Structure 1
Amino acid sequence: MKISIGNDHAGPEYKKAIVEMLKTKGHEVTNYGTDSIDSVDYPDFAHAVANDITEAKADFGIIICGSGNGIAMAANKHAKVRAALCWMKEIAALARQHNNANIISIPARYTSIPQAVDMVDTFLNTEFEGGRHQTRVDKISC
């Protein structure tokens, strides 16, 4: 699977752990995130990951910032992107099952690194249920 990841200054250690897990599982990872804790602008990384989704260069995206909100808002400006803010693996599973989310947004300041790794693993291994959920997902895009 091809996965794009982007993070701001709140997420370098999260990204490192997530990328390590993804690579051990054989995924191809494109890294747009910073490796520094020096302040950067999260939209730059959100747009890079979202572009990979809209241009079919990645199957899924992972974005990380302090709250997970700002980076998700930026990513969701792109057509065909459904970035879901997740703070526990059950939310990550529902984001895939019911919303067919293609980007997971992680709030680094409100989750632990092991939680984040577990959420990403759950997100990537959960299928969209389709059916009645497809009609709802179709109504998301304008």
Structure 2
Amino acid sequence: MKIALGCDHGGYALKCEIVRLLEELGHEVKDFGCYSTESCDYPDFGEAAARAVASGECERGVVICTTGIGISMAANKVKGIRCAHCADTLEAELTRRHNDANMLAIGAGFTGPMLAKKMVEVFLTTGFEGGRHARRVGKVDAIQP
């Protein structure tokens, strides 16, 4: 699977861990930055990763900032993106099963690397249930302009 990644300076170290995991699992990684711990603006990298997912260039995306909140807000501004900010593996599983989320946001200041890597694995291996959830996801997508 081709995975888009984006982070700000607060998520850089965790992003590096996630890149290694994805490569070990055989995924192709498209890294949209940032590339250091120098202060930068999360919307730039959240948007870039989200556009890659929305366009079909990448199948899924993972974005990381200190809280995971700001970068998820930026990603969700892109039409076709359903980015879920998750804090544990159950949320990562359910957002795929019930919401068909195509991007995962993680807060590096709150989520350690072991948990974050497990969340990414669960997010990438869990399918969408469809059924009644498809109707709801359709309604969410219809809200977008």
TM range (shorter): over 0.9
* CA distance in 2: counterparts of 1:103 and 1:6, whole angstroms: 11
How many equivalent pairs are there? 142
* CA distance in 2: counterparts of 1:20 and 1:36, whole angstroms: 16
Which residue is 1:62 aligned to? 62
5+ unaligned residues in a row in structure 1: which ranges?
Answer: none
Q: From the two aligned structures, give the one with the greater helix fraction.
A: 2
State the Cα RMSD in Å. Answer: 0.7
* CA distance in 2: counterparts of 1:21 and 1:48, whole angstroms: 21
* CA distance in 2: counterparts of 1:109 and 1:27, whole angstroms: 25
Q: CA deviation at 1:40?
A: 0.4
The within-5 A match list for 1:15-94 is 15-94=15-94
Q: Secondary structure at the match of 1:106?
A: strand
Runs of 4+ deviating beyond 4 Å: none
Q: Which moved more, 1:85-94 or 1:28-37?
A: 28-37
* CA distance in 2: counterparts of 1:111 and 1:118, whole angstroms: 11
Q: Secondary structure at the match of 2:10?
A: coil
Which residue is 2:111 aligned to? 111
TM norm structure 2: 0.96
* CA distance in 1: counterparts of 2:78 and 2:51, whole angstroms: 8
Q: CA deviation at 1:29?
A: 0.3
Deviations 1:18-72 (A, max 9, x none): 1111111111100012232221000000110111011100000000001111100
5+ unaligned residues in a row in structure 2: which ranges?
Answer: none
- Percent identity, aligned pairs only, is 45
